[in-house]
Structure 1
Amino acid sequence: MEEKPDFKPFVPADRVAPEFTVVSLLLGCLLAVLFGGANAYLGLRVGMTVSASIPAAVISMGIIRVLLRRDSILENNMVQTIGSAGESVAAGAIFTLPAMFMWMKEWGGSAPSLVEISMIALCGGVLGVLFMVPLRKALIVREHGVLPYPEGTACAEVLLAGEQGGSKAGTVFAGLGLAALYKFIADGLKLFPSEVHYEIGSYRGAGVGVDVLPALLGVGYICGPRIASYMMAGGVVSWLVLMPLIALFGGDVLLFPGLKPISKMASTDIWNSYIKYIGAGAVAAGGILSLVKSLPLIVRTFGQAVKGYGGEKGTGLRTDRDLPMGVIGALVLITIVFIWLFPPIPVTLLGAVCIAVFGFFFATVSSRLVGLVGSSNNPVSGMAIATLLFCTMLLKSTGSAGQGGMMGAIAIGSVICIIAAIAGDTSQDLK
């Protein structure tokens, strides 16, 4: 029989403690709303979101342990799990749904209704969790020691610091206070800018800049120098190599209708108009290679899940209970049919099938990717762009064009973007 990783859990698997309680549910929902709004603002401003798991864990620790005097690390963990879900839904929605508002303003129509937005977010969130559950043993258990899941690991350390108390818990709150003070001085008092950009005039198309945000500094610290260097290398190649090459050879060429000639573009315009799509292609190609590499492990995991995980079904241990595969399959089917038949969601049967296929693909890619680079660096917008490129070609080839086809494509992209974000967040929480 395949050897299992040697886990040494802080809370033994057979220990029963308060976990999914009324307090954890209410506090988690409150934090989900708070961090969902905060990350929606951050994402719309700088183009990326920051995992809410760690701040949610800090706040949970302060309220549950200090104010309410409750003593259960599992209850704290449940709060941060629910709280971080709001950030993930926001991350998936803000990169796609604003297109609907801009189109409707241009077309003179009414903005998407709250029901439509809510149902897109709900369906994406449900599918993201359902697609991730069967992958848990493949990516979380079997790949233990290979995929670090930086935010999940860091969040566990925060909760352990609160459990142990003393100077460790003080360090956590000191970091929170310093970050809040810095943010107040930079954005509240406006003593210095939090966003700096410089065009390199003699090196046309190139530019350098930085968002001086404590949230991004914390992400880099959590992910570590190796992962951060990957991100830095991608930025250097994009801004100092690819973009000057595009500016050099592009000249007055107009590659896409509606864009300015490349010779008249600033570096930020080149990044928005071209580099994003290069990145989306890189994400899709890397995802395909990662999926091919992990496919034997995923297939084996699915087989074990169907058979009861190697005969261990019914152990009853808290850490070894998953939703049955039959229930997962039925819920996925119901959700896909609902997306197809629910009138406010402008998705056809072909679109619903695309959501099922691409959704599982990018849920797998996202779950594995966040294991390497963390949820804060998860390129869900790139996955949405890759999805839109494929789906728009499929929809147009079947006659779905014009405004209806455009709205259907962006709805498909929105659901899949939320699936990828929630699958990645769920992976961190399960870790």
Structure 2
Amino acid sequence: MTVFPRGSHTIMPKSHASLKELTLRGVILGALITLVFTASNVYLGLKVGLTFASSIPAAVISMAVLRAFRDSNILENNIVQTQASAAGTLSAVIFVLPALLMMGYWTGFPLLQTAMICACGGILGVVFTVPLRRALVVNSELPYPEGVAAAEILKVGQKPGGEDGGETRPAGGLREIMLGGVLAGGFSLLTSGLRVAGDSVSHWFSIGRAVFQLPLGLSFALVGAGYLVGIVGGVAMLLGVVLAWGVAVPWLTWLSPMPEGASLASFATGVWVSKVRLIGAGMIAVAAVWTLLTLIRPMVEGMRISLSVFKQGPGESGLDRTDADLPPRLLLKLTLLMILLLGATFQSFVADSGLPTLAAWTLVVAGVVLAFVFGFLVAAACGYMAGLVGSSASPISGIAVIAILASSMIFIGIGQAQDLLGRPESVRFMTALALFCTSVVVAVAAISNDNLQDLKTGWLVHATPWRQQAALIIGCVIGAVTIPPVLGLLYEAYGFIGSLPRAGMDPAQALAAPQASLMITIAQGLFSHTLDWTYIRIGVLVGAALIVFDWILGRFSRFRVPPLAVAMGVYLPPTVATALFVGALISWFVRGRVRAQALQAGADRARCEQASERTGTLFASGLIVGESLVGVVLAIVIVGSMASGGGDAPLAVAGPGFAPIATLIGLLAFVLMCVVFVRRVLGAAGAVGRG
């Protein structure tokens, strides 16, 4: 990946000044892409706890569609990808909000409250990072990896007859997304809809009283996500699976005799859910805190820059179009409006508690102030971290852990001071309020990660900053309106692990919502003092050992084992982590093969790697989008069937007796997809080498 030095921003071409940028057709296209990618990210986030960056696939789709218009240009395409990028970031609120259903406080996702959390948090994320643009984008040497990559995609797609056939590249990129989408969507229909193919393969066995599992998930979307995660994260997650199912589960099943009549699978799975996941939660907590501590210097620097710029104001930017941010007065008005809307949102949440007026308004004010102040500090930190390590690598999960800890402790203090924690109902409400407040902070953090990355892309292609900022606000609003109904639909169709909306639903189809489960574990443990901390303490110790192990590896080798990724491997269902590892393994394999092929053919290695990386990223994105969209469509079918008195598998054509054959079909299809994936990526690199 090319990283441009600080002085690489050349003087703006005069032709750019007259180009259309923020157009109605671009906004409509960006809105449609935002809707699709938001739904996809919500599904993927609930299933595996990951979201995918939507900027690059959005840029490719935009170039392929808008090239039908003779006056389309690179700046208009940049606006579309900026607007659509909100889909991959604002969806991070699902890391917290489902916890309100999982704890039984909500029975669904209230449209207005959920949308206001997303919109207010997202817009504040934009507003808070606007003053940082000059300091962290224009006058900084931070690499902004995703921002630079998106700029390169836009530049290459704009070159008629450019290298590697630049004129046809947008359509070719769209073909990769479509092919991946069709393959993954078709397989998802076979597994989750028709039930004629299996979605996982597991072998259970015991040695003495210890139970073991050899799992493999067959999800195409997770392979795509694993490809984007890379080999380091994939190996770390696989190590987590080994620790969970090769050490912890066998050890605990050895200590606990299996109940009469229970199967190996049900017994071991129950031990993993009730005990091993708590170990994983402890590991995630300590790893998240450590990840943030390793970035404490850039976090402090980001906060310092933000505060200093905030005091001085962004200055006048009318001298040059490419230096024009949203006006300070408009930013102030937006900030005040968001504070008022947040206040109304918190008041609507607190109104159902039945608390005295003074206590209720105290909690409303505390919630708004906490969300605003902590959100501002987090925005500065996340903006800097996004520039340093990229949006995808920035630890939003760690931010969420810190936020829930801070929110819970503050509300516990308020509750004790006003004697609000004497009844179980009050404790339950205060727990829910801490989660509600944390969701706003996570929304701010997610968009802050994204905004400066988009502004880096815009700076490299000579875009107008205020137009990008306006486009991202539009994307936040569209995403905020999309997220609540998609969340409600998926919950009604599949449920969450440990929280099913109806009796008799298949728990194997439930979405994991891993971060939300962790949030509720932490919050309820702090408020109720009923949590068995034994396994969490074990997790903390294991996590600390992994941190030391990773540090030693870093000192004596180039290989690392990120503790947070290992912890996620322990916490996630094993079929999820193993499918992610397969995708990461494909990424590692094709990169090695591309280098070898380029050397053997005497081709330009950098160009071959760029072509393979682009093709792999777009194909992987297509796998994610295809399976996710079919999952959403099937959810609509399932909910409609349940509403009319039907079952939760209305399209199924095979019964339980078909399971062995379905598993074989699923495994064969999975292997075939992996072969196609590898051949597409290597073929793209080979075409460049031969050219």
Category of TM-score, reference length = shorter chain: 0.7 to 0.9
Distance 1:426 1:229 in 2: 27
The aligned residue for residue 213 of structure 1 is 220
Q: How far apart are 1:13 and its partner, in Å?
A: 8.5
Please point out which of 349, 371, 375 is paired with 1:355.
371
Q: How far apart are 1:76 and its partner, in Å?
A: 0.9
Please point out which of 46, 52, 70 is paired with 1:50.
52
User: Is 209-218 or 412-421 further displaced after alignment?
Assistant: 209-218
Indicate if the aligned counterparts of 1:195 and 1:211 stay in contact, CA closer than 8 A: yes
The aligned residue for residue 303 of structure 1 is 308
Change in 2 beyond 3 A, CA 1:172/1:361: same
Deviations 1:331-376 (A, max 9, x none): 4354234323443244622222221232133333433444455444
Amino acid paired to 1:425: D
The runs of 5 or more residues in structure 1 that have no matched partner are 254-261
Indicate if the aligned counterparts of 1:52 and 1:87 stay in contact, CA closer than 8 A: yes
Distance 2:252 2:317 in 1: 63
Indicate if the aligned counterparts of 2:313 and 2:328 stay in contact, CA closer than 8 A: no
Indicate if the aligned counterparts of 1:358 and 1:416 stay in contact, CA closer than 8 A: yes
Indicate if the aligned counterparts of 2:37 and 2:87 stay in contact, CA closer than 8 A: yes
Distance 2:445 2:13 in 1: 31
Distance 1:93 1:290 in 2: 22
Structure index of larger Rg: 2
Change in 2 beyond 3 A, CA 1:131/1:271: farther
1:336 to 2:339 alignment: yes
Q: How far apart are 1:280 and its partner, in Å?
A: 3.7
The aligned residue for residue 84 of structure 1 is 85
Amino acid paired to 1:360: F
Distance 2:384 2:376 in 1: 12
Amino acid paired to 1:96: V
Q: How far apart are 1:93 and its partner, in Å?
A: 2.8
Give the 3-state SS of the residue equivalent to 2:50 in structure 1: coil
Q: How far apart are 1:71 and its partner, in Å?
A: 2.1
Change in 2 beyond 3 A, CA 1:351/1:364: same
Amino acid paired to 1:217: G
Distance 2:35 2:348 in 1: 24
Distance 1:140 1:270 in 2: 45
Indicate if the aligned counterparts of 2:288 and 2:397 stay in contact, CA closer than 8 A: no
Amino acid paired to 2:291: G
The aligned residue for residue 72 of structure 2 is 71
Distance 1:111 1:95 in 2: 16
The aligned residue for residue 152 of structure 2 is 157
User: Is 337-346 or 45-54 further displaced after alignment?
Assistant: 337-346
Please point out which of 283, 287, 296 is paired with 2:292.
287
Indicate if the aligned counterparts of 1:39 and 1:49 stay in contact, CA closer than 8 A: yes
1:93 to 2:97 alignment: no
Distance 2:236 2:87 in 1: 28
1:420 to 2:445 alignment: yes
Indicate if the aligned counterparts of 2:129 and 2:380 stay in contact, CA closer than 8 A: yes
The aligned residue for residue 413 of structure 2 is 397
Deviations 1:368-427 (A, max 9, x none): 444455444554344323311221122112115423212211211111121122122223
Distance 1:422 1:297 in 2: 15
TM-score normalised by structure 2 residue count:
0.51
Distance 2:184 2:36 in 1: 17
The aligned residue for residue 602 of structure 2 is none
1:38 to 2:40 alignment: yes
Change in 2 beyond 3 A, CA 1:149/1:264: same
Q: How far apart are 1:19 and its partner, in Å?
A: 1.0
Change in 2 beyond 3 A, CA 1:301/1:12: farther
1:275 to 2:300 alignment: no
Amino acid paired to 1:99: A
Give the 3-state SS of the residue equivalent to 2:125 in structure 1: helix
Deviations 1:76-132 (A, max 9, x none): 11111112213422x2232222222344xx46x764521111111111111111222
Amino acid paired to 2:86: A
Distance 1:350 1:323 in 2: 29
The aligned residue for residue 238 of structure 1 is 240
Distance 1:409 1:156 in 2: 39
The aligned residue for residue 22 of structure 1 is 24
Q: How far apart are 1:193 and its partner, in Å?
A: 5.2
Give the 3-state SS of the residue equivalent to 2:22 in structure 1: coil
1:429 to 2:454 alignment: yes
Would you say how many aligned residue pairs link Structure 1 and Structure 2?
406
The aligned residue for residue 258 of structure 1 is none
Distance 1:163 1:84 in 2: 20
Change in 2 beyond 3 A, CA 1:362/1:234: farther
Q: How far apart are 1:276 and its partner, in Å?
A: 3.8
The aligned residue for residue 257 of structure 1 is none
Q: How far apart are 1:209 and its partner, in Å?
A: 4.7
Distance 1:205 1:269 in 2: 17
Indicate if the aligned counterparts of 1:366 and 1:423 stay in contact, CA closer than 8 A: yes
Indicate if the aligned counterparts of 2:299 and 2:384 stay in contact, CA closer than 8 A: no
Aligned-pair identity in percent equals: 28
The runs of 5 or more residues in structure 2 that have no matched partner are 160-165, 257-266, 351-362, 421-425, 457-691
Matches within 5 A, 1:130-279: 130-144=127-141, 146-150=142-146, 152-164=147-159, 165-190=166-191, 209=216, 212-213=219-220, 217=224, 220=227, 228-241=230-243, 265-267=270-272, 272-279=277-284
Indicate if the aligned counterparts of 1:348 and 1:408 stay in contact, CA closer than 8 A: no
